[in-house]
């Protein structure tokens, strides 16, 4: 694991640091205000013995001033599992903070927003997983980490966008020709294609589930669910075509929560951290990122020579809930506490541990 990120401790030094990173991305007068907040957040963080984890989608001023660790869901869950700090503040969404609590239950885990939802996590309930299991006895269930604890508890494995393919390949190696993969329709379709599986989707309700019970005579079959990310589902092949027409040299990167057509029309698809690494290794300049827009700002802040094209009318409202102001109040008031009932936590933990065990 990397060393924690260090930040300036005084307001003038923090202002200078933020101006150096973000001038041109965030107005300078706003950065001066953000610097004051960030210095106070970091002071309180030290006083309380807290650690702050920041997802790659955090707004630029927060991302570059307070998280001890930044990364994608997979990396941050690994950091959370090993965190020795008494308090973990998760600058991300609820399912991420819940994952931290599941992996490190003796810590006080705080989410700076009372909401911090996710359209994928909200698309499926524990009873849906139980119904699918009843229809496909013996078929292992893989749940995307973008689910709540009770859904993880009904699953055999979790996965993230960074290791979904690896988890399904491991199940194939164990001799499973069928896998239930929930709840992201598009991530499942992308992984099914990469791993040579056909995919079927139950329509909602008992009748629809029954139709998915017998996926014909297909041998390698993934049973999916029709959840979608409200951000990534909006990107289209036409968006890519239009940008390529105007900028023929553009390199297009799509998160695997985008549709299979969008992923196929892109040059690279991977987790948020995989996309950052890909951009940082590119020899030349112009990139189109099909993901939450803050990440483009965060990349440009560290790689000013990159020209980042984004379709910023599409934002994640849940990630956007988390601000420096909310993070400061979270530390001051020790809010909003994440709790997971023990029987659910223990079973969810087993699914996460199996994922982490895969590597």
We find the least distance from the C-beta atom of residue 257 to ligand SF4, in angstroms, to be 6
Secondary element (H or E) of residue 108: strand 108-110
Token output for 253: 């990167």
Among ligand 13P, ligand SF4, none, what does residue 26 contact (CB within 5–8 Å per kind)? none
Region near ligand 13P per CB under 6 A, out of 35-43, 159-167, 195-203, 351-359: 159-167
CA-CA distance, 191 to 179, in Å (whole number)? 11
3-class DSSP state of 270: coil
We find the least distance from the C-beta atom of residue 163 to ligand SF4, in angstroms, to be 16
Count Cα atoms within 13 angstroms, Cβ side, for 103.
Answer: 26
Among 351, 307, 358, smallest CA distance to 140 is for 351
Residues 92-151 that bind ligand SF4 (CB under 6 A): 93, 118-120, 146
Q: Is 74 in the site for ligand SF4 (CB under 6 A)?
A: no
Q: Is 259 in the site for ligand 13P (CB under 6 A)?
A: no
In this structure, the dihedral spanned by the alpha carbons of residues 289, 316, 235 and 168, taken in order and rounded to 10 degrees, is 80
Residues whose CB falls within 8 Å of the CB of residue 157, separated by 6 or more in sequence, listed in order:
140, 141, 142, 143, 167, 171, 351, 354, 355, 358
Handedness of CA 1, 272, 160, 42 (dihedral sign): positive
Q: Are 83 and 104 in contact (CB under 8 A)?
A: yes
Q: Which of 161, 259, 269, 326 binds ligand 13P (CB under 6 A)?
A: 161
Q: Is 231 in the site for ligand SF4 (CB under 6 A)?
A: yes
Q: Which of 34, 107, 318, 345 binds ligand SF4 (CB under 6 A)?
A: 318
- The residue (of 42 and 189) whose beta carbon lies closer to ligand 13P is 189
- The residue (of 40 and 321) whose beta carbon lies closer to ligand SF4 is 321
Region near ligand SF4 per CB under 6 A, out of 33-41, 149-157, 162-170, 315-323: 315-323
Q: Is 229 in the site for ligand 13P (CB under 6 A)?
A: yes
Q: Is 91 in the site for ligand SF4 (CB under 6 A)?
A: no
Q: Which of 52, 230, 293, 296 binds ligand SF4 (CB under 6 A)?
A: 230
Among 303, 259, 310, 327, smallest CA distance to 44 is for 327
We find the least distance from the C-beta atom of residue 14 to ligand 13P, in angstroms, to be 26
Secondary element (H or E) of residue 221: strand 221-223
3-class DSSP state of 341: coil
Q: Is 72 in the site for ligand 13P (CB under 6 A)?
A: yes
User: Which positions lie near ligand SF4, rule CB under 6 A?
Assistant: 93, 118-120, 146, 229-231, 257, 292, 316, 318-319
Residues of the shown chain interacting with ligand 13P in the complex, contacts defined by CB under 6 A = 56, 72-73, 146, 160-162, 229, 255, 257, 271-272
């Amino acid at each position: 694991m990397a060393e924690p990120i260090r930040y300036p401790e005084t307001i003038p030094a923090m202002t200078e640091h933020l101006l150096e990173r973000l001038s041109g991305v965030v107005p300078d007068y706003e950065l001066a205000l953000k610097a004051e907040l960030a210095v106070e957040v970091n002071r309180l963080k030290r006083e309380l013995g807290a650690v702050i984890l920041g997802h790659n989608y955090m707004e630029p001023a927060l991302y570059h001033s307070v998280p001890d660790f930044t990364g994608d869901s997979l990396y941050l869950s690994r950091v959370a599992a090993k965190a020795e700090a008494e308090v973990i503040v998760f600058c991300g969404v609820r399912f991420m903070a819940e994952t931290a609590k599941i992996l490190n239950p003796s810590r006080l885990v705080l989410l700076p927003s009372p909401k911090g939802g996710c359209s994928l996590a909200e698309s499926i309930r524990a009873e849906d997983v139980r119904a699918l299991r009843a229809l496909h006895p013996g078929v292992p269930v893989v749940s995307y980490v973008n689910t709540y604890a009770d859904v993880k508890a009904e699953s055999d494995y979790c996965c993230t966008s960074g290791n979904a393919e690896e988890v399904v390949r491991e199940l194939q190696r164990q001799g499973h020709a069928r896998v239930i993969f929930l709840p992201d329709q598009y991530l499942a379709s992308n992984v099914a294609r990469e791993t040579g599986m056909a995919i079927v989707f139950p329509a909602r309700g008992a009748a629809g589930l029954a139709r998915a019970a017998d996926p014909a005579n297909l041998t390698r079959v993934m049973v999916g669910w029709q959840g979608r990310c409200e951000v990534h589902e909006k990107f289209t092949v036409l968006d890519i075509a239009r940008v390529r027409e105007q900028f023929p040299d553009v390199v297009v990167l799509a998160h695997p929560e985008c549709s299979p057509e969008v992923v196929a029309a892109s040059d690279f698809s991977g987790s948020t951290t995989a996309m950052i690494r890909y951009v940082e290794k590119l020899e030349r300049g112009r990139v189109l990122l099909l993901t939450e827009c803050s990440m483009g700002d965060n990349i440009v802040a560290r790689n000013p020579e990159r020209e980042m094209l984004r379709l910023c009318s599409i934002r994640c409202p849940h990630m956007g809930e988390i601000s420096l102001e909310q993070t400061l109040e979270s530390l001051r008031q020790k809010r909003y506490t994440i709790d997971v009932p023990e029987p659910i936590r223990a079973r969810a933990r087993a699914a996460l541990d199996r994922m982490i065990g895969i590597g």
